[in-house]
């Protein structure tokens, strides 16, 4: 790790790896914890139309594919000795935050695919869904900006 990713191609690969893995991890947590373990989210509550179904299918298939691709690219960056923690973590947090905000605003509220939980007042749950996402996203962007202004050592 002597010569960290100063070249644009290596930086771009690392950035893509982090974004994909962040998206994929947030998607996996959503699917495993909230759909399968807690059963808060419903498979399909029939409140959304065709656009919602297509968007849900793309996001579901996209996130788990992204997780696998992100891991492979991460392993490749490590193998090349081009791993820069601030850049990578910034990308992971940005990807995860973007998923959470998109899921909370577009999927739950705009397309009404399913809600965070059923049979309760949703306001607190919605804030609890989107706010951590926004914080993750902000932290990721800050890290990415710092990694850009401070080229890797």
Partner 1 sequence: MTVLLLAAGAAYVAATWRCRSPWPLARTAAWLAGLAAAGVAVAGPLRAHADLHAHMAGHLLLGMVAPLLLVLAAPVTLALRALPPPAARRLSRLLRTAPARWLADPLVAVPLNAAGLWLLYGTGLHTAVAHRPGLAALVWLHVLSSGYLATAAVLAVDPAPHRRPVAVRALSLAGGAAAHDVLAKVLYAAPPAGTVGAEQGARLMYDGGTVVTLVTAALLWRRWYVSRDAVRAAAQPG
Structure tokens at 67: 């997780």
Helix (H, G, I), strand (E, B) or coil at 4: coil
Cβ atoms of 134 and 101 within 8 Å: the answer is yes
Give 75 or 142: the residue with its C-beta nearer to partner 1: 75
Binder of partner 1 out of 1, 33, 61, 138 (CB under 8 A): 61
The whole-angstrom separation of Cα 99 and Cα 52 is 16
Work out which of 2, 37, 46, 149 binds partner 1, going by CB under 8 A. Answer: 46
Q: Based on the shown chain and the rule CB under 8 A, indicate whether residue 153 belongs to the binding site for partner 1.
A: no
126 is a contact residue toward partner 1 (CB under 8 A): no
Which x/- pattern, by CB under 8 A, does the window 83-122 give for partner 1? ----------------------------------------
Torsion over CA: 33, 39, 40, 44 (sign): positive
Cα–Cα distances in angstroms (integers) from residue 132 to residues 74, 83, 108, 122, in the given order: 25, 27, 15, 16
Report the interface residues with partner 1, using CB under 8 A: 3, 7, 9-10, 43-44, 46, 53-54, 56-58, 60-62, 64-65, 68-69, 71-72, 75-76, 79-80
């Amino acid at each position: 790790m002597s010569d960290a990713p100063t070249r644009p191609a290596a930086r771009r690969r690392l950035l893509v790896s982090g974004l994909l893995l962040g998206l994929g991890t947030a998607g996996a947590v959503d699917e495993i914890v909230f759909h399968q373990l807690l059963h808060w989210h419903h498979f399909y509550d029939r409140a959304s139309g065709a656009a919602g179904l297509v968007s849900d299918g793309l996001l579901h298939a996209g996130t788990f594919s992204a997780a696998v691709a992100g891991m492979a690219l991460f392993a490749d960056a490590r193998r090349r000795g081009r791993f820069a923690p601030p850049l990578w973590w910034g990308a992971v947090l940005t990807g995860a935050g973007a998923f959470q905000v998109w899921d909370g605003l577009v999927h739950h509220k705009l397309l009404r695919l399913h809600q965070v939980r059923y049979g309760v007042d949703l306001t607190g749950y919605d804030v609890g869904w989107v706010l951590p996402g926004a914080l993750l996203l902000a932290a990721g962007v800050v890290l990415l900006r710092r990694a850009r202004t401070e080229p890797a050592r």
